[in-house]
């Protein structure tokens, strides 16, 4: 199949056809506005996010709602007022730069209180600018299909979401990139030429000095995307080098050899991992997470996974592949595919440079037999572990790991 045929098929499959969701959202907005009126508050509920932009994917069950408060409330706690409005709906409070709320019905609603502003400079909090993002996308019509393709591509390749445990592309970032480059395929092609700290500035706020003018804390990401409604903000600040690399490799692969597989979301099963291992050692852990806010729990799981991966690397075991999955309930799975060959039981241990006399003396006191190599004092020591499975008891008994997860055990395969 050609690229055009693949994209046409995928676009048709991910395009929402069920109008009931929009009907449910409309009813929910009506109820919210009714509660606002009852409480005599100068505010109004509006649909936001991908539903407002018409870029949501088929079978989506999430919807952002903005409660726009009159600017006369700029010195008041509009989160507290929102809680009052939502009280009959039993909302879940979520802490952020400004507290917002979740209401779970057939659709998972995220209700965000904002001031009703017309331009970014009027914002009291960064969330006040969220409706302006919706308006910016609407001013660039005809990109709905292209943005959906970008979202599906990123979801399928595990790089969608700006949460701290994902560090991928947010929906907002994909909106900007697709619109800036004029389409999904053009974005994939452009990504192949991105260099470190590439500056992408759709509204041309800066010429060549964006990196000098932006706060240093905002340019740690591999690419810098100047927010089209707030030029002081790097919209891609959460993106990691790892996820950008995955995206660029997937883009290269699709452009070189187009396949529907690049858009198919498929969770790894134990059987898949056994095939991937192909003679290597496969180690899988079943993990039960703590309960709490999704982003916090996910971040702890990520740190637990990284701790285990780093421990295998510390003991010189060669990882062929590693990964983890979490379906946002309590259960997660970590997997590691490791070169099965035993390590040599004796290891050369490199010490300090010979020029650092005090450290060298301490090293020689600790180790009976030493020698000099490449200007450093060295010795030979016995390895603690020669097989990857020997590391597991130490891993599972680690106090820091136990703090990050509720429970973890080796899976029998």
Please give the CATH architecture assigned to the domain spanning 346-382. Answer: 2-Layer Sandwich (3.30)
Give the whole-angstrom CA distance, residue 320 versus residue 338: 5
Q: Regarding the domain delimited by 144-263, which CATH topology (the fold level of the hierarchy) does it fall under?
A: Poly(a)-polymerase, middle domain (1.10.1410)
Mean pLDDT of 356-370: 95
> For residue 292, what pLDDT is reported?
84
Q: What is the pLDDT of residues 283-310, one digit of tens each?
A: 999 999 998 888 889 999 999 999 999 9
> For residue 328, what pLDDT is reported?
74
> For residue 77, what pLDDT is reported?
96
Residue 24 has pLDDT above 90, yes or no: yes
**Where residue 329 falls among pLDDT bands split at 50, 70, 90?**
confident
> For residue 308, what pLDDT is reported?
97
Residue 326 phi, psi dihedral angles, 5° rounding: -150, 120
> For residue 149, what pLDDT is reported?
98
Which residues make Cβ contacts (< 8 Å) with residue 154, sequence separation at least 6?
160, 168, 169, 174, 247
Give the whole-angstrom CA distance, residue 196 versus residue 223: 6
> For residue 212, what pLDDT is reported?
80
Mean pLDDT of 31-56: 96
Contact by Cβ (8 Å): 183, 62? no
pTM: 0.86
**Where residue 379 falls among pLDDT bands split at 50, 70, 90?**
very high
> For residue 294, what pLDDT is reported?
86
> For residue 171, what pLDDT is reported?
95
> For residue 17, what pLDDT is reported?
84
Mean pLDDT of 134-157: 95
Q: What is the pLDDT of residues 62-96, one digit of tens each?
A: 999 999 999 999 999 999 999 999 999 999 998 88
**What's the CATH class of domain 270-342+387-410?**
alpha beta
Contact by Cβ (8 Å): 377, 370? yes
Of 176-190, 213-227, 229-243, 396-410, minimum mean pLDDT range: 213-227
**Where residue 60 falls among pLDDT bands split at 50, 70, 90?**
confident
More confident position, 20 or 48: 48
**Where residue 10 falls among pLDDT bands split at 50, 70, 90?**
very high
Mean pLDDT of 164-179: 96
In terms of C-beta density within 10 A (0-12 exposed, 13-18 middle, 19 or more buried), how is residue 256 classed? exposed
Mean residue pLDDT of the chain comes to 94
> For residue 218, what pLDDT is reported?
76
Give the whole-angstrom CA distance, residue 51 versus residue 60: 9
Of 173-182, 240-249, 325-334, minimum mean pLDDT range: 325-334
> For residue 9, what pLDDT is reported?
96
> For residue 301, what pLDDT is reported?
96
Residue 398 has pLDDT above 80, yes or no: yes
Q: Judge if 144-263 and 346-382 fold alike in CATH terms.
A: no
> For residue 397, what pLDDT is reported?
94
Q: What is the pLDDT of residues 175-219, one digit of tens each?
A: 999 999 999 999 999 999 999 999 999 999 987 788 887 877 778
Q: What is the pLDDT of residues 251-277, one digit of tens each?
A: 999 999 999 999 999 888 999 999 999
Q: Which pair of tokens denotes residue 76?
A: 């008041």
Please give the CATH architecture assigned to the domain spanning 16-128. Answer: 2-Layer Sandwich (3.30)
Residue 259 phi, psi dihedral angles, 5° rounding: -155, 145
Domain residues of the chain, as ranges?
16-128, 144-263, 270-342+387-410, 346-382
Q: What is the pLDDT of residues 89-134, one digit of tens each?
A: 999 998 888 999 999 988 999 999 999 999 999 999 999 999 999 9
37: helix, strand or coil? helix
Q: Which pair of tokens denotes residue 135?
A: 């308006």
Give the whole-angstrom CA distance, residue 237 versus residue 225: 8
Q: List the one residue out of 303, 306, 339 whose CA is nearest residue 321.
A: 339
Q: What is the DSSP string of 305-346?
A: HHHHHHHHHHTT--EEEEEEEE-SSSEEEEEEEE--SPPPSE
């Amino acid at each position: 199949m050609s690229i055009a045929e693949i994209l046409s098929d995928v676009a048709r499959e991910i395009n929402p056809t069920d109008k009931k969701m929009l009907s449910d959202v409309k009813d929910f907005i009506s109820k919210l506005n009714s509660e606002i009126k009852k409480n005599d508050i100068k505010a109004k509920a509006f649909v936001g996010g991908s539903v407002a932009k018409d870029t949501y994917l088929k079978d989506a069950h999430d919807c952002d709602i903005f409660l726009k408060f009159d600017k006369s409330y700029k010195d008041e706690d509009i989160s507290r007022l929102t809680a009052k409005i939502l009280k009959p709906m039993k909302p879940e409070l979520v802490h952020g730069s400004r507290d917002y709320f979740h209401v779970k019905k057939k659709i998972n609603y995220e209700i965000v209180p904002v001031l009703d502003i017309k331009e970014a400079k009027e914002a009291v909090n960064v969330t006040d600018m969220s409706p302006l993002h919706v308006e910016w996308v609407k001013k660039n019509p005809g990109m709905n299909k292209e943005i959906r393709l970008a979202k599906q591509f990123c979801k399928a390749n595990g790089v969608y979401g700006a949460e701290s445990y994902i560090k991928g592309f947010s929906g907002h970032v994909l909106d900007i990139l697709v619109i800036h480059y004029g389409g999904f395929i053009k974005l994939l092609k452009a990504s192949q030429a991105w260099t470190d700290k590439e500056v992408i500035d759709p509204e041309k706020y800066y010429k060549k000095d964006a990196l000098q003018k932006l706060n240093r804390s905002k340019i740690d990401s591999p690419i810098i995307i100047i927010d089209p409604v707030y030029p002081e903000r790097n919209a891609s600040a959460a993106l990691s080098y790892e996820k950008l690399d995955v995206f660029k490799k997937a883009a290269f692969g699709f452009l070189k050899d187009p396949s529907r597989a690049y858009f198919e979301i498929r969770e790894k099963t134990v059987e898949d991992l056994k095939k991937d291992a192909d003679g290597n050692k496969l180690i899988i852990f079943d993990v039960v997470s703590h309960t709490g806010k999704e982003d916090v729990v996910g971040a702890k799981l990520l740190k637990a996974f990284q701790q285990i991966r780093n421990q295998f690397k510390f003991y010189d075991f060669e990882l062929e592949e590693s990964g983890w999955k979490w379906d946002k309930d309590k259960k997660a799975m970590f997997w590691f595919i490791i070169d099965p060959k035993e390590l040599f039981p004796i290891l050369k241990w490199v010490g300090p440079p010979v020029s650092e006399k005090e450290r060298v003396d301490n090293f020689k006191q600790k180790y009976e037999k030493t020698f000099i190599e490449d200007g450093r004092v060295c010795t030979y020591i016995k390895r603690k572990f020669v097989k990857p499975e020997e590391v597991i008891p130490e891993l599972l008994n680690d106090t820091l790991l136990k703090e990050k997860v509720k429970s973890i055990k080796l899976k029998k395969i």
